[in-house]
Structure 1
Amino acid sequence: MSIRLSALSKACAAVLLAATVIAAVGSAPRALAADDRLQFTGTTLSGAPFNGASLQGKPAVLWFWAPFCPFCNAEAPGVSRVAAANPGVTFVGVAGHSDVGAEQTFVSKYGLNFTNLNDADGSIWARYNVPWQPAYVFYRADGSSTFVNNPTSAMSQQELSDRVAALRS
C-alpha cells in the first residue's frame, strides 16, 4: 500500500509541477507575433512580385476591391486622396473577381497611385476571409489590425481618413 501511495504522490506532484509551469508560461509576457496573414506573395497589376511580409511593422491599409463594384467605384476617389495625404501609411489595393485589363483601367480612372495587386485566384481574399468587396484591413505598426467590411454602402472619405489617422496614434 505504501508503494502505491508513494507512486500516487509522485504522480500528483508531477501533475502539479506541470500545471505550475504551464500557468507561468501562459502568464508570461509574449513577444508580438507577426500577423501570419501577411505571409503572402502576389503580383502587382504591372506584373511585379509583391511580398505581404514587407508590410510588417508599418501602418498599412489593405483595400479589397473589384472594378465592377459600385461601392468600390464610389470609394476610389476618396481612397486615392487619403492615400496621397498619408505618405507614412502604406496602401495596397487587392483587386479580385476580374481581369487585369479591367483592374488597370479602374486604377488609371481613379489615379490610384499606390500598389495594387491582381488576386486572380482569390488566395489573398481567402487569407483575410473577405466575403465580398469593398473591405479593408487596417494595420497598426504593432501588428494589430482591424477588418472592416460593409457590403451595403461605401466608406466615406472622412471615415477612411479617421481610421488612417488612428493608425498613427
Structure 2
Amino acid sequence: MRAARTRAVLTALLLTGTLAVTGCGSGDDGPAPADKAKPEKPAEETDAGAPEKDAPEGVAPGEKAPDGAPATLQFAGSTVDGKSFKGKTLAGKPAVLWFWAPWCGTCKGQAAQTAKLADKYKGKVNFVGIAGLDKTEPIRGFVSSQKVGNFPHLNDQKGSVWKKFGIAQQSSYVMLDEKGKKVHAGAPTGPSELDKLVSGLAG
C-alpha cells in the first residue's frame, strides 16, 4: 500500500512539474510576439524619415546642381547695386568674366573697350564684371566713372568668385563657352587680342 501511494505521489509530482515547465514555455511563447513588436516601432519611425535620406546631405533638394548648370556656373553673389546674381543665368551663351579692382590702372584702361564689346555682342555673349580688392563705394565709383554700367558687376569683396576661378591678380579675363567650359583665362596683351578673343566666342 505504501509503495502504491508513493508511486501515485511521485507520478502526480512529475505531472505537475511537466505542466509547470510547459506553462513557462507557453508563457515565453505568448509574450514573445509582443516583445518583438516593440523594436518595430523605431524601425517604422526610421522608414518614415526615409524621404529625407534621398536628398543630398546638407543640401536642399534641387540645389546641388541648379538647373543642371555646369560647375563653372555654380556661383552666386550680389551686384554693385545690391541685386542678387546667380552664375547659372549665364548658361546657354558664351560669357566673359572680367576680374577688376577700382584702383587698378590697367583695369581703367580696359574699361572703355570692355563696355564697347559688351554692347557690340549684346544677346550673343554675356559680360559680367567681378570687382574685388576694395570696398563698395570705390567699386561703385569705378562703374560710374568708367561708364561700364551696361553690364552687371559683382561686388566680390570677400573674393569668393575670384578664388573659384583661381584669379591671383587684376586685370584678368575668364572666357566660357555656351556650355560653361573655360576656353581662356588671363590678361589680353592688348585691345586687338581682347577683341579677337570675344569675336571667337561669339562665333
- Fold match, TM over 0.5? yes
1:70 is matched with 105
Structure 2 spans left out of the alignment, 5+ residues: 1-67
Structure 1 spans left out of the alignment, 5+ residues: 1-32
Could you say what secondary structure the match of 2:92 adopts? coil
2:95 is matched with 60
Higher percent of residues as helix: 2
Aligned length: 134
Equivalent position to 2:140, from 104, 126, 129:
104
Residues 12-62 of structure 1: CA deviation (Å, up to 9, x unaligned)? xxxxxxxxxxxxxxxxxxxxx853121011000000000011112211100
Structure 1 residue 144 displacement after superposition: 2.2
Higher RCO, 1 or 2 (CA under 8 Å, sep at least 6)?
A: 1
Is 2:190 the partner of 1:162? no
**What code does the residue aligned with 2:112 have?**
P
Instruction: Report the TM-score when normalising by structure 1.
Output: 0.74
Counting aligned pairs with the same residue, the percent is: 37
Equivalent position to 1:140, from 177, 182, 187:
177
RMSD: 1.6
1:26 is matched with none
Write the distance in 2 (CA, Å) between the matches of 1:101 and 1:65.
15
Over 3 Å counting, the alpha-carbon distance change for 1:38 and 1:69 in structure 2 is same
Moved segments of 4+, more than 4 Å: none
1:122-133 alignment, distance < 5 Å: 122-133=159-170
Structure 1 residue 111 displacement after superposition: 1.2
Instruction: Give the number of the structure whose alpha-carbon radius of gyration is greater.
Output: 2
